[in-house]
Chains A and B, each alone.
Chain A
Amino acid sequence: MEIYELTAREVADGIKAKKFSAEDVTRTCLARLSSLEGYLNACITVAEDSAVAKAREIDSRLARGDEIGPLAGVPYIAKDNFCSKGVRTTCSSKILENWTPTYDASAISYMNGAGAVLMAKSNLDEFAMGSSTENSIIGPTKNPRDLRRVPGGSSGGSAAAVAAGYCPIALGSDTGGSVRQPAAFCGIQGMKPSYGEVSRYGVVAYASSLDQVSPLARSVEDLAIAMEVLARPDPNDTTCDAYDRPKFSDSLSLRDLKGKRIGVFAGFGAEEIDADLYGALTSAAEHCRSAGAEIEPIDLPIAVKYGVATYYVTALADASSQLACYDGIRYGAHTDGQTLADMYSNTRTVSFGEEVRRRIILGTALLTEGYYQNYYGPALKVRTKMVKEFDDLFERFDAYLLPTSPSMPYMLGMKEEDPTRMYLGDVFTVPISLGGLPGINISMGLTGEGLPLSVQLVGQRYDDARLLGIASVIERLAGRPGIANPNLPQNAEKRRG
């Protein structure tokens, strides 16, 4: 097995056991990136020099017998909306195209402090607004399982990088499914933690009441290790809960699901969900049953019917407020104007992409007199009712199984003209975000054509550790995902020909 196929835990163990050096690992992963990046376009900036320097530092510390962290020498990639000191952070937007932060996001500080090596910053839809990673200043990222298809989004660069073996672990941000859906489309594991579990400090906001820092990996164990590094109180983020977190990796000792009750979503029939994904949901339920869990069908009528509309009202209103800080003075691009107002609107009109402009204008409308009373106000109440629906079900169940996406990864460039239909692709992920619940995309293998299958496991808020335990049992039965086709470049050449 090649080094780039190992999980983060295997890499960290191998470095500690001196089977290979941190520098070997980083150089191998950089070479893997270099060999595939021309096809995938998953990264906006590659921090080769600083990554190699950090890996050497880990090797020196290990040679001196110093204490090294749980992810020492493990290369990782962060979505390009995480502030990284000295490394350009663009959000895939012209407005931040040349912006280099003077500080690290807390999540980056924690990963670096645990010894992980920041290798690159990954592609995303501009300001995380999208579900396909096509809406970017560097162009679309391609799905490493099938280069003709999208990798999902908005954390599509991070998901493609992990699936392709650039690195064993990556950071993304999940607002309405932006880590779970690309993890599903690329055939890997991805976890959105409970809202408040991980600090958002230094992550460029799309919608602050929903955004969560979320890890992607090729094993549930790596997600648990990442959570141990990332989830902790942070006085720099007032939405980050100050409670003492459990030791997430302890949950991985769960051997079976005896005594657990798992609800399986039965609100849509096979005709409304892709047949292969419906089969994956059924298989996951069977795995839970064979592991000793009691399985019962559930429905989520409020979440499914009202979730997407509530999400867009909430997220767009949040976005219009959050993106007001791009004024042409404090951050990034600047376009002159005769008056201050001219300068603001010149900068924002020239430097935001079309989808971002549309969402900001719409969000502004939703917060004005009349629209607020008919949209934003009711959405706040529907959100309360949705949380109650979840809470009521959690009195009877330990976790739910749902699809992550109702459809398989679609073809690049297959633009959906009707935006509301496009948004319906998020029907199973956005309610989980609105409820602040933890959700894990679990790979369920590949179809005969090599396309990824997956299921979403959802738990009660703050029950992240127990959810990881249940996910690890399902993963043992379903099989851990491998890296995307190692013959990718040859296949790509044929396709291009």
Chain B
Amino acid sequence: MKMSVDREITLRMARAAQIRVAPEDVDHMMDSINDILSFCALVGDLDCTGTPDFTWRMKKRPSRRPDITRDWEDRERFKEKAPAIDGNFFRVPRISSEV
């Protein structure tokens, strides 16, 4: 079944994706999403009754890695990439519910 998005749904999807859409860009984003949704609705046209969902088959599954702590690279190098540091931890802003 072909579906579409309106301005409100476009903004809700953008929020879920953690992306802001400027008010003047909402219509353009909505139209381009609707173009793709309209084209992709084709996937509903093929009769797939009784067809299982796709999964990858493998010849031989890889063995699992041992579930143990591995040696770290230089911890200081990772900390250098953090936007802010608090001791040995990355510091992040409060989540909204705690503000």
Contact = CB atoms under 8 A, between A and B. Distances in A.
Interface of A: 99, 102-103, 195-196, 209, 233-243, 302, 305-306, 308-310, 312-313, 316, 320, 324, 327-331, 334, 336-346, 348-349, 352, 357-358, 360-365, 368, 370-371, 374-375, 377-385, 387, 418-420, 423, 436, 462
Interface residues of B, number: 58
13 contacts: A102-B77, A234-B62, A238-B64, A241-B58, A305-B42, A327-B18, A329-B90, A337-B93, A341-B18, A343-B93, A357-B19, A374-B3, A384-B52
Contact of B20 (A209, A336, A349, A362): A349
Contacts of A338: 93, 99
A243 B37 CA distance: 39
Given A242-B63, A341-B95, A358 B46 contact: no
B68 interface: no
Contacts of A235: 62-65
Interface of B: 1-3, 5, 9-10, 13-21, 29, 32-33, 35-46, 48, 51-54, 56, 58-65, 73-74, 77-78, 81-83, 90, 92-96, 99
Contacts of B20: 345-346, 349
Determine which residue in B58, B74, B99 has the highest number of CB atoms from chain A within 10 A of its CB, and name it. Answer: B58
A11 to B, nearest CB: 33
Given A196-B56, A348-B19, A385 B62 contact: no
B83 A334 contact: yes
Contacts of B62: 233-235, 237-238, 240-242
Nearest to A199: B62
Contacts of A360: 17, 19
Given A339-B94, A420-B35, A344 B18 contact: yes
Nearest to A85: B73
B56 A195 contact: yes
A237 B20 CA distance: 33
A311 B16 CA distance: 22
Report the 3 A-B pairs with minimum CB-CB distance, sorted nearest first: A381-B48, A383-B54, A420-B39
Given A102-B78, A209-B56, A348-B19, A382 B33 contact: no
